[in-house]
Structures are given as structure tokens and as C-alpha cells.
Amino acid sequence: MCSNNEGGLTKFEPKPDLALFRKCLKCDKNSVVVTRINDAMCKECFVEYFTHKFRATIGKSKLFDKDEVVMFPYSSSDSSVAMLHLLFKGVGEEAKKKFTFKTICVYIEDNYVFESNSSTHERITFMENVKKSVEYSGFKFYYSLIENCLEPSKNIVSDEIAKLNLNNENKEKFLNLINSCKNQTSKEELLKRLKTQLINRIAIELKIKKIIFPVSCTNLTIDMLTNVALGKGAHLSIETSLEEKLSNGLVYVRPLRELTSKEIAFYNRYNNIDSNIMAKSSSLKNLPNSTIYRLTEKFINSLQNEYPTTVPTIFRTSDKLTPTDELCPEDSCMLCELPVDTIKKISANSSAINDLEYSLSISRLDNTAIEKLFVLKSVCYSCSVVLKDVGGHGNLPQTIKDKIKSRDNLKDKIKEFLIED
């Protein structure tokens, strides 16, 4: 007989009391946090593990050259706060091997724009508070406002809060655009894409090539499943990768992608920096079931509570995916700036897009501007759904309108050479 359990069932004892005395995985101290699948660690070992994992993600792939300048869009969220601290420690005296790249941070104010009752003064105070909370890092900070995504000029970023263009006209325009979305999911998606566009423009303005995004593996997992639901499957692996090269020459890096949101929360707590998190009051309107993103978040978090392997499993799956070779980076979507997936050659195998196009072509509806766009292949499938939902296209940023125009012109010019199919 080689098994211990022969001849009877093993008795399962409840384990709670034992847990109180669980020792740290690495040293003899009492543990304070459960991480990964079921590893208990003490405070010191946990902070060391966390820092090491971050540094390893950056170091392993040799992402940055010496003295290279990278831009960090700081948002005062939990993961932003943690990453700022990690970068600060990485260049500090105590770091064994210092980071050799230089960090420049940008804070984009996108909370008070939704507070109709708030004054400009309150908005400035909020930004001043953010400024105070990041001063310890010593990094150079720039500031911008979310409504600057509509600003056609290059005047979109400043290193002084006082120099920002805080007039209400821009704010109104921006609110009109966002509020013209017919549903919450489109609103959220449009906001996200406009913010990314603004970040890209700021990077170009500051002549920085690499942008580091503080996204945790939990959030990437949620993003990934949300993307599937939004019809953004073609971009799945691009948007969750460690390094993402854009067609305009910019490079996105996601150095927090190996860490979960729980680990980030504990890191912030144990370093006494969780008071630097400035929660957005607009998030109060986000009820658990209000958008596809929030539903996915609820789904993942609930599963994760029961089965700690949930996030790693989904995340590793997305890691194995590669984008199809047929996606052409030069044909980028005018909203999300990712390769367009609606081109015939690519959609040949994906029946959903073909079916949709077929039903559009036989429907008796007049071709509205957006349907025309969809046919013109300037937007990816998912963004075309978002843009259909936007009421006033006149409010779209000039940069997007320019792109539509230039594509229209090009299409006209080459029209006579095109073969009708």
C-alpha cells in the first residue's frame, strides 16, 4: 500500500486558528499578507518581493537605454501612487542598482470636469494637492486638463498649474461631447481613448518616445475580457503586452503588469503612501452594473475571491496570443490609434464584421456619416460602435476630424483606380 489515504477518507479539519500563526514563507516572522495563490509573507519580505518583481520586469527585458527620458502619466490612482514610489526608490541612494533612465511625469486632471457645481478654484486646489503629494519624488511634473484633447493647438501641457487654460468654454465643449454618448459603456470607452490620444500628443510635444503606464495585472485582465465584449479582439494581445510599439513611433511600456491590484494596495499601505491616492468623486456614479467594464470587473473580482488562480490564468492566456500579421500598423483607427481590423483581407475569416457589413449594405437606411466611415475603414470595428453612439460629431476633436478629411481626400483621389467588387 503506497497511499496514506487507503482504507478511509481523509478528515478535513477547518483551518482558521492555524492561520493566525502562519509563518512567513521566507523568514520566521508572523505573516501579514497572503499573495500569489496562497503564499503568506511578513511585511518586510512582501515589500522586497514586490520591489524585486517590478525591477525584474524592467530589467529583464532591457526596456530603457541609459539616460533615456520616459514619460509617466500619473493619475493619483493606487497603481500610479505605487509606481511613483517604486521609481523614486529606484533612483534613490539606497537602491543597489539604480535606474539609469529619467522619468518625467504628467498629471491630467479629469475629475472636476464632471462636477458641474465645482468652481475653477476647487479644481486648482485639487491639482495643488496632487502636486504636494508627489513632491517627495523629486521628478519633474507637467500638468494638463482632459478637455485639452479638443484643443487643436500645441498649447496642451504646462509645468505650472497656474498657466493652464482653465476657461469654461473648453470644459463645456468637452462635456457636450461626452454627454452626447447614448450609453455609459461608450462614454467610458470614448473617455479612455480621448485621454490616451491626449497622452500621446503630450509625449510628442515633450519629445518623449516611451510612455510607462501603471496598469496592474488585475486591471489588464479586466481590460482584456472587456475588450472581447466590446469587439476589440484583434487588439487584445497588443493592448496587454509589456511593450507596445505604435505606428507614430511612440512606445508604451507596462512595468506593473506582473503585480495584482491586491499587492499594489498592500504595498501602498506598508509604505504609508496610501494617503496619496486621490479618489475621483466621479467614480461614485459608477454603479457595479453600469457598464461592460464594471460588470467584467465585478465578475473577475468575485471569481478571484473564490479562486486565486483566476487572474493569473486569464492573464497568461492573453500573454500567449499574438496579433494577426495582416493587421497593418499604418492603417490606424482614428479613435484608438490601433491597427484597423475592418479591412476585407483581415475580416475575411471573422464572420461578425462581414455579416454586419452585409446587413448595412442591404438596409435601406441612408448612409450616415459614421456608416460611411466604417466603410472607409478609418475606424476599427469597436470604435465604430462607440462613434455611432456619439450624438454630436461636430464636437469631436479637430485632430480626429482632420484625419477623416485627409482620408476622404485620399479616397477621392484614388477613386478612379479602385476596382469595384
Partner 1 sequence: MLHLTIEFSGGAELLFGNVKKHQVELNNDTKWTIRELLVWIKDNLLKHKPEMFLQDETIRPGILILVNDSDWDLLGNLSYELNDNDNVTFISTLHGG
CB neighbourhood size of 307 (10 A): 11
The SS3 call for residue 105 is: strand
Among 1, 10, 13, 16, binds partner 1 (CB under 8 A): 16
Candidate residues 1, 2, 9, 20; the one interacting with partner 1 per rule CB under 8 A = 20
CA distance 219 to 222: 5
- What minimum distance in Å lies between the beta carbon of 302 and partner 1? 5
Of 14-22, 86-94, 166-174, 244-252, the segment contacting partner 1 by CB under 8 A is: 14-22
337, 196 Cβ separation under 8 angstroms: yes
Amino acid at 191: L
Binding-residue total with partner 1 (CB under 8 A): 49
Smaller CB distance to partner 1: residue 7 or 16? 16
Neighbour-count burial for 269-284, b at 16+ CB within 10 Å, e otherwise: ebbebeebbbebeeee
Beta carbon of residue 244, minimum distance to partner 1 (angstroms, whole number): 20
Residue window 99-118: x/- pattern of binding to partner 1, with contact defined by CB under 8 A: -----------x--------
Identity of the residue, 216 or 342, whose beta carbon is nearer to partner 1 in the bound complex: 216
Is the Cβ of residue 26 or residue 262 nearer to partner 1 in the bound state?
262
36: left (phi over 0), alpha (psi -120 to 50) or beta: left
- Of 350, 415, 410, 421, nearest in space to 378 by CA: 410
Binding segment for partner 1 (CB under 8 A), chosen from 74-82, 94-102, 237-245, 359-367, is 74-82
The residue written with cell numbers 493566525 in the block is: 20
In angstroms, the CA 382 to CA 145 distance is 26
Cα 70 to Cα 206: distance, rounded to the nearest angstrom = 10
* Sign for the pseudo-dihedral over CA of 98, 129, 274, 277: negative
User: Which residues, 6+ apart, have CB-to-CB distance to 345 below 8 Å?
Assistant: 326
Choose one: 96-104, 214-222, 251-259, 327-335; the region binding partner 1 (CB under 8 A). Answer: 214-222
| 174 versus 266: smaller Cβ distance to partner 1 | 266
72 C-beta neighbours (distance < 10 Å), count: 25
Of 269, 134, 249, give the one whose Cα is nearest residue 200.
249
| Nearest distance from C-beta of residue 371 to partner 1, angstroms | 30
Whole-angstrom Cα distance, residue 71 to residue 199? 9
37 binds partner 1 (CB under 8 A): no
The 8-class DSSP code of residue 270 comes to H
CB of 318 to partner 1, least distance (A): 18
Residues 215-244 that bind partner 1 (CB under 8 A): 218-219, 222
Which CB atom, from 43 or from 102, has the smaller least distance to partner 1?
A: 43
Q: CB 289 → partner 1: shortest distance, Å?
A: 8
3-class SS at 378? coil
The residue from 50, 72, 77, 256 that contacts partner 1 (CB under 8 A) is 77
Minimum Å gap between C-beta 150 and partner 1 is: 18
CA atoms of 169 and 182, how far apart (whole Å):
23
Q: Does 310 bind partner 1 (CB under 8 A)?
A: no
Residue among 204, 141, 203, 197 at smallest CA distance from 174? 197
Cβ distance to partner 1 smaller for residue 34 or 69: 34
As measured in angstroms, the least distance from the Cβ of 416 to partner 1 is 47
Is residue 302 close enough to count as binding partner 1 by CB under 8 A? Answer: yes
Residues in region 247-286 near partner 1 by CB under 8 A: 261-262, 264-266, 268-270, 274-275, 277, 279-284, 286
Q: How many residues does the chain have?
A: 421
Nearest CA to 112 out of 72, 159, 76, 71 is that of 76
| Lookup: cell for 214 | 501603471
Contact flag: residue 290 with partner 1 (CB under 8 A)? no
Residue 297, interface with partner 1 (CB under 8 A)? Answer: yes
Residues in the site for partner 1, rule: CB under 8 A?
16-17, 19-20, 22, 31-34, 40, 43, 75, 77-78, 110, 188, 191-192, 218-219, 222, 261-262, 264-266, 268-270, 274-275, 277, 279-284, 286-288, 293-294, 297-298, 301-302, 304-305
